[in-house]
Amino acid sequence: DQQVKQNSPSLSVQEGRISILNCDYTNSMFDYFLWYKKYPAEGPTFLISISSIKDKNEDGRFTVFLNKSAKHLSLHIVPSQPGDSAVYFCAASALSGTASKLTFGTGTRLQVTL
């Protein structure tokens, strides 16, 4: 039972355009969402997060949107740059004591072309 889904395994975008990566979740107990960027054979790097009490969070070129009623979030990258080419993972958090158990999607490989 996959609780966090990234239905697009790959996405190709031209440099300077907007990249939109999507993520759906099924567990209504999730209350904190994160996006990570990952290069092969490296650990994920945190990009941006959003609490379930918000519907938008922005950090430079990165914006995350959350639609709780649709159980959907998206990551917008504007403008896209070649260095953004990587695999992007969506993760959702449910509180467990004082730690958080992250559930990850399967990732979307973004390729930014010149």
Partner 1 sequence: DGGITQSPKYLFRKEGQNVTLSCEQNLNHDAMYWYRQDPGQGLRLIYYSQIVNDFQKGDIAEGYSVSREKKESFPLTVTSAQKNPTAFYLCASSIGRYTQYFGPGTRLTVL
For residue 14, the minimal CB distance to partner 1 (Å) is 26
Site mask, partner 1, residues 51-90, x = CB under 8 A?
--------------------------------------x-
Cβ atoms 58, 50 nearer than 8 A: no
- Candidate list 86, 107, 110, 112; residue touching partner 1; CB under 8 A: 107
Residue pointed to by tokens 């430079």? 60
Cβ atoms 14, 80 nearer than 8 A: yes
Cβ atoms 66, 54 nearer than 8 A: yes
1 vs 69 by CB, closer to partner 1: 1
Residue 106 sits at φ, ψ, to 5 deg, of -85, -5
Residues 53 and 30: their CA atoms lie apart, in Å, by 11
Site for partner 1 in 9-38 (CB under 8 A): 9, 32, 34, 36
Residues 39 and 109: their CA atoms lie apart, in Å, by 10
41 vs 114 by CB, closer to partner 1: 41
- The binding site for partner 1 (CB under 8 A) comprises 4, 9, 32, 34, 36, 41-46, 49, 89, 91, 93, 95-107
